[in-house]
Structure 1
Amino acid sequence: MFPDSKITQGFQCGRTKTTAVPGELSADQQKTLVVRMQKGPFSISTDGSNHTAGDKQFPLMVRTVGENLTVQSELLAVPTCKGSATGEAIFTLIADVKERNNIPWTNCVALGCDNASVMTGVKKGVIAFMKGQQPNMYLAGCTLHLAHIAAEKGANTLPFLPSELLTDMYYYLQHF
């Protein structure tokens, strides 16, 4: 990688070291994230993987306020839901990660998620269980999901396929 450097010519990095380096770097990043979550407000967002069978992963993205009032978005964890991904099961995944890291519920100000009832349901959705721990929490449903659905429905009413129009435009402009 660095053929002109005498220092790096003797460097070797096999599978074990290559695997360990990102793990150690992410552990340091996670520690600083957890400290910010313990001390100040944060929002947490998640969306399940699209696997139709088996376990589903729920990456937990967190937004905090960092130095100089900068908003930082970072990955906290990627817990796996074994079995049915109910609102209670997903809530339990989030709660377990928070408890392992001693993060208080009072600092959690919002849940970001898609608009599925398993997430937004007022009785058995993830937000319902989270509001049981932090009643002042805000639900930040995903406007991108709604925009995507609206665009998809609108495109389905067109008398042609948008992909065909784009292809025709590409070939037309290619000759200029």
Structure 2
Amino acid sequence: MVGKDAAAKLRSVPLSNYTIRRRIEDMSADIKSQLLERLRGSKFAVQLDESTDVSGSAQLIALVRYPWEGRIQEDFLFCQELTGRATGEEIFNVIDMFMETGNVSWENCIAICTDGASCHDRTQ
């Protein structure tokens, strides 16, 4: 369909598992870097949900909304396993660590939205 020259160029592109994995990791890091840069320069709101995966591990999912180029943008912020109990304190610690690692100021966070489910000690 594209000709012999184009086919030869496509064959020269490395497609090993390592190469593909590295490219995906590089793209992911670039997207995360761009998002964190946007959050450092604007006000934003975070939406949280805690869910249990098929292995029984609690996962915290965070979405973020912020103004960008005259529109409200919504992006996936992170998904992080909750290693301890899914208490409000544990959830805060996960978010706080993400903010600190990403050098994002809490002063830019204007709202946090949850599903309203209570946080309690699951060991009792």
- Counterpart of 1:116, as a letter, is A
Residues 59-138 of structure 1 mapped to structure 2, 5 A cutoff: 59-67=61-69, 69-118=70-119
CA distance in 2, matches of 1:18, 1:52: 27
Which position in structure 1 is the counterpart of 2:40?
A: 38
Deviation at 1:46, TM superposition (A): 1.8
CA distance in 2, matches of 1:32, 1:98: 14
Establish whether residue 55 from structure 1 lines up as the match of residue 57 from structure 2: yes
Work out the percentage of aligned pairs sharing the same amino acid: 27
Q: Deviations over 1:6-27 (max 9, x none)?
A: 3112223111111121211121
Which position in structure 2 is the counterpart of 1:10?
A: 12
Establish whether residue 28 from structure 1 lines up as the match of residue 27 from structure 2: no
Deviation at 1:59, TM superposition (A): 2.1
Q: How many residues align?
A: 117
Higher helix share: 1
Specify the SS of the correspondent of 1:109. strand
Deviation at 1:63, TM superposition (A): 1.2
CA distance in 2, matches of 1:81, 1:90: 7
**Structure 2, unaligned stretches of length 5 or more?**
none
Higher strand share: 2
- Report the more deviating stretch, 33-42 or 75-84: 75-84
Specify the SS of the correspondent of 2:49. coil
RMSD: 2.1
Specify the SS of the correspondent of 1:59. strand
CA distance in 1, matches of 2:111, 2:55: 29
Q: TM-score, normalised by structure 1?
A: 0.59
- Evaluate the alpha carbon distance shift between residue 53 and residue 89 of structure 1 in structure 2; reply closer, same or farther with a 3 A threshold: farther
- Evaluate the alpha carbon distance shift between residue 52 and residue 7 of structure 1 in structure 2; reply closer, same or farther with a 3 A threshold: closer
Deviation at 1:95, TM superposition (A): 0.5
Q: TM-score, normalised by structure 2?
A: 0.82
CA distance in 2, matches of 1:86, 1:52: 20
- Counterpart of 1:58, as a letter, is L
CA distance in 2, matches of 1:53, 1:83: 15
**Structure 1, unaligned stretches of length 5 or more?**
119-123, 125-176
